[in-house]
Amino acid sequence: MTTAASKGFGTTFVFDGVTIGEVLNFPEVTSELDMTEIFTCDSADETPDYLEGGFNEGVPTFQFIYDGSAAGEYRMLHDKYKAKVRGSLVVTYKNRAGVTSPFTVQAMIASLTWPGFGSPRDAKMATVGFRTLGAKTFADESGGTASSSPSASGSSSASPSASSSV
């Protein structure tokens, strides 16, 4: 059985013009709707209400092979981290047919580890984490785009509106 699913092999990561080479690990990133729970003593159904805020596009973090040269990815990312650069983070996936689908979001480097390794024979690895600063745009494999954008705050109730009787 075959699938047309996108795969990790062939995925590219670019931050503000820096193509990050050999990526070892890129776990799922969760986008969430920021919400604040509101509960008052005079609630008719003893169920909290929620104030919805904007969208939090998550904190993409991945591990890559350390390149210690002056022109290496680590040095370029380190310089952008120290300068607090805000730039585009583009993660491009590829499906089995070679068709790509990128995710793009404005971001800045929030964390950058010192290079580490498991044993003296292992490649040195580093981990970089990004704080997203805007709406994420996703271009699907057919060329269509979708974007999540922050909305004005609203209020909704988590309780059912209809009452039931026994």
156 in a structural domain: no
55 belongs to a structural domain: yes
Q: Work out how many domains the chain is built from and give that number.
A: 1
* pLDDT score of 5: 62
Q: Please choose, from the candidates 138, 126, 127, 112, the residue with its C-alpha nearest in 3D space to the C-alpha of residue 57.
A: 138
32 occurs within a structural domain: no
* Structural domain boundaries, residue 87: 6-27+43-150
pTM: 0.71
Could you tell me if residue 121 is inside a domain? yes
What is the structure's pLDDT at 164? 38
Q: Is residue 23 assigned to a domain?
A: yes
Secondary structure (DSSP) of 11-39: EEEEETTEEE--EEE------EEEEEEE-
In a domain, 137, yes or no: yes
Q: Give mean pLDDT in consecutive 10-residue pieces for the chain, a chain of 166 residues.
A: 62 90 81 81 75 85 87 92 96 81 93 86 88 88 65 42 40
CB atoms within 10 A of CB 24: 12
∠ CA(101), CA(106), CA(107), 5° rounding? 110
Instruction: Say how far apart CA 82 and CA 120 lie, in whole Å.
Output: 29
What does the chain come to in residues?
Answer: 166
The SS3 call for residue 144 is coil
Would residue 113 count as lying in a domain? Answer: yes
E strand intervals along 57-97: 61-65, 86-95
Q: Does residue 54 lie within any of the structural domains?
A: yes
- Residue 113 CA neighbour count, 13 Å, CB half: 15
CA distance 34 to 50: 10
Per-residue confidence (pLDDT) for residue 151, from 0 to 100: 44
